[in-house]
Amino acid sequence: MTNPYEAAFEQSINDPDGFWAKAAEDCHWYKRWDKVLDDSNKPFYRWFTGGEINTCYNALDYHIDQGRGNQLALIYDSPVTDTIKKYTYNELRDEVAAFAGVLKAQGVEKGDRVLIYMPMIAEAAIAMLACARIGAVHSVVFGGFAAKELATRINDAKPKVIVSASCGIEVKKVIAYKPLLDAAIDMSDSKPDSCVIFQRPMEKAPMIDGRDVDWEAAMAGATPADCVPVAATDPLYILYTSGTTGQPKGVVRDNGGHVVALKWSMKNIYNVDTGDVYWAASDVGWVVGHSYIVYGPLFKGCTTILFEGKPVGTPDAGVFWRVIADHKVRAMFTAPTAFRAIKREDPNAELMKQYDLSNFKALYLAGERLDPNTLHWAEEALKVPVVDHWWQTETGWAICANCLGLHEFPVKEGSPTKPAPGWNLQAVDADNKQVAPGEIGALVVKLPLPPGTLPTLWQNDDRYVESYLEEFPGYYKTADAGFIDAEGYAFVMSRTDDIINVAGHRLSTGAMEEVLSDHPDVAECAVLGVDDSLKGQVPVGFVVLKAGVTKAEDEIIQETIQMVRERIGPVAAFKTATVVKRLPKTRSGKILRGTIQKIADNKDYNVPATIDDPTILGEMEAALKGIGYAGARKA
């Protein structure tokens, strides 16, 4: 007898039209679709063509129409400012409609872009939903990202308006956003017509006359705006992800498929219902914040939590338990890094004992590899299912998960369980042939991708095809390697490109190498991700100096670290680099990054047959030991 997961998976692959049409019936449409899956322009598949929908209406107004306007929609919980603020669906809808009116007053219309550069405050979610309300396309950039990174995104998206705040708060440190924003606009060829700035009490931003608009003053005089119907295939947002060329890729999300897939995922994957409290401890600047702080929970009629704090230090390693107990959280989603930090500070979970976690039913972890120690520690401490699931900025929701709302499978450590319905995941070799169960291959998804995934990259169809579809024709390339075992469990092993995963943030080592090679004394360099017990991976840099450089090596290293901080931002966590005489390469000149990585992580390696000079590996080992890797004790 098949279980509900198997029945759902089977139908989603063999009858995607029937499967997703049924899910779509659960959403509000102004006009029903003409076609569920439109494959008339392969490989550019589209979902629900001909349909008209509004994302904000599905997130807010729909629930008010169902008589749930007084239910809590959003809880803003900020231990860094000692604030808890709660919004019912009615209250949140009114704030969003007013801010949508502010945007309209600034000339924003359907299809215009609005860039949002905000900390983790309720106004960030309000700004996103306000864009969706009037059919504008939002592009959220992680608050505090360096000015240069912000400028590249402004140039690509060409926003009519930028929404920002005076500052963000990192534990106890106030980070002024306005100087970063002003510098980014100065660097950009594309200039916004205006900037709406939310002034926070801890930092007053200087305003530029004629361009900058005060959030509160504008809200006080705003005319609320109604929802604007948009085509299901119209873009809802652009979210930039690290590109291997250093030029970020603007992942596009549509309106129709996104509402359908995310609403479906709340019950079927996360096992939460209307009225339940759901918490994704992430940031609105990342895909998790888009999908599961702002949109998914509200589509389902849940209460969502927007948390401005850290797993430790705001004030201690018990803050997650306090939030779960205070707000009666049923399911939580965060990155394994957060739990590693808590485990390090409070190894016996003593702080958990102070809180009533009786409403808590499941923990979901994603964003990086979940190591077995952290998995078992969380299982033993919480006594609830701990679900590792795997997805990407591009996919918008889980490729693989233990779909608790359908069927709970036994956990296998190292595996995000099985492909979610809609995802025809396969492991293939270089010739695009499926490999045997248990054999490592490239993890790819047979097209079409399910609803809610990326239809293309912003104004760059060619790069979309080249980045994701070209290497394995007929498939989407995840750029992860791994295998599928005989029972259908997927195991994700490693990236197949230069993206590393630092505390759940995907970062390009290639982009960091570009920064290092700009230093006047650096001849060549390599950056790679090495294992880190807290963050999963951290970048380590190796630089070869130009001949005749007399400057102290320590000084050069400090300058390169500062350059990465300025150009990519503190999020890169680039703190360690060392000078080496030369880098190990193949005879064709390719740097042997994988081998260096194995030496750094103290793993067995074979000397590659193609290596130019094997003696360099000994030099690399000595250099790595000097900075605490390759078996040397880390300070």
- Residues 471 and 518 both lie in one domain: no
**246: confidence class by pLDDT, cuts 50, 70, 90:** low
87 forms beta bridges with: 74
Please give the structure tokens belonging to residue 309: 């704090």
Contact 523, 536 (CB under 8 A): no
pLDDT digit string, tens, across residues 304-315: 999 999 999 999
Number of domains in the chain: 2
- Residues 89 and 25 both lie in one domain: yes
Q: Is the previous residue joined to 448 through a cis bond, with omega within 30 degrees of 0?
A: yes
More confident residue, 492 or 476: 476
- Residues 478 and 578 both lie in one domain: no
pLDDT digit string, tens, across residues 354-374: 999 999 999 999 987 787 888
pLDDT at 494: 67
End-to-end CA distance of the chain: 55
Contact 308, 77 (CB under 8 A): yes
- Residues 98 and 164 both lie in one domain: yes
- Does 488 fall in a domain? no
- Does 371 fall in a domain? yes
- pLDDT of residue 386 exceeding 80, the answer is yes
In 3D space, the residue among 413, 409, 338 whose CA is nearest the CA of residue 371 turns out to be 413
In 3D space, the residue among 148, 396, 398 whose CA is nearest the CA of residue 251 turns out to be 396
For residue 466, give the amino acid letter.
Answer: E
**341: confidence class by pLDDT, cuts 50, 70, 90:** confident
Last residue of a domain, one of 457, 482, 507: 482
- Residues 454 and 506 both lie in one domain: no
In 3D space, the residue among 69, 1, 11 whose CA is nearest the CA of residue 36 turns out to be 11
- Residues 465 and 540 both lie in one domain: no
From residue 268, alpha-carbon distances to 15, 289, 359, 391, 400 in Å are 18, 19, 19, 16, 12
- Residues 252 and 286 both lie in one domain: yes
- Residues 553 and 522 both lie in one domain: yes
More confident residue, 559 or 495: 559
- Does 632 fall in a domain? no
pLDDT at 285: 92
- pLDDT of residue 635 exceeding 60, the answer is no
Q: Quote the crossing angle between the two packed helices 372-382 and 336-345, to the nearest 10°.
A: 70
- Does 56 fall in a domain? yes
- pLDDT of residue 247 exceeding 90, the answer is no
In 3D space, the residue among 501, 499, 424, 419 whose CA is nearest the CA of residue 467 turns out to be 499
pLDDT digit string, tens, across residues 42-83: 999 999 999 999 999 999 999 999 999 999 999 999 999 999
Contact 580, 629 (CB under 8 A): no
Contact 305, 288 (CB under 8 A): no
Vertex 612, ends 606 and 617: CA angle to 5°? Answer: 50
- pLDDT of residue 633 exceeding 50, the answer is no
More confident residue, 514 or 226: 226
Q: Which domain holds residue 602?
A: 498-627
- Residues 328 and 415 both lie in one domain: yes
Which range, of 48-52, 296-300, 533-537, 608-612, averages the lowest pLDDT?
608-612
Contact 165, 121 (CB under 8 A): yes
Contact 490, 416 (CB under 8 A): yes
pLDDT digit string, tens, across residues 148-190: 889 999 999 999 999 999 999 988 899 999 999 999 999 999 9
More confident residue, 124 or 341: 124
Cα-Cα-Cα-Cα dihedral sign, residues 105, 107, 109, 112: negative
Contact 56, 299 (CB under 8 A): no
Helix (H, G, I), strand (E, B) or coil at 634: coil
- Residues 232 and 350 both lie in one domain: yes
- Does 493 fall in a domain? no
- Does 491 fall in a domain? no
Helix (H) or strand (E) holding 139: strand 137-140
**What's the rounded Cα separation, in Å, for the pair 599 and 41?**
47
Please give the structure tokens belonging to residue 181: 């924003």
pLDDT digit string, tens, across residues 451-460: 999 999 999 9
**497: confidence class by pLDDT, cuts 50, 70, 90:** low
pTM, whole model, 2 decimals?
0.85
Please give the structure tokens belonging to residue 146: 């360096």
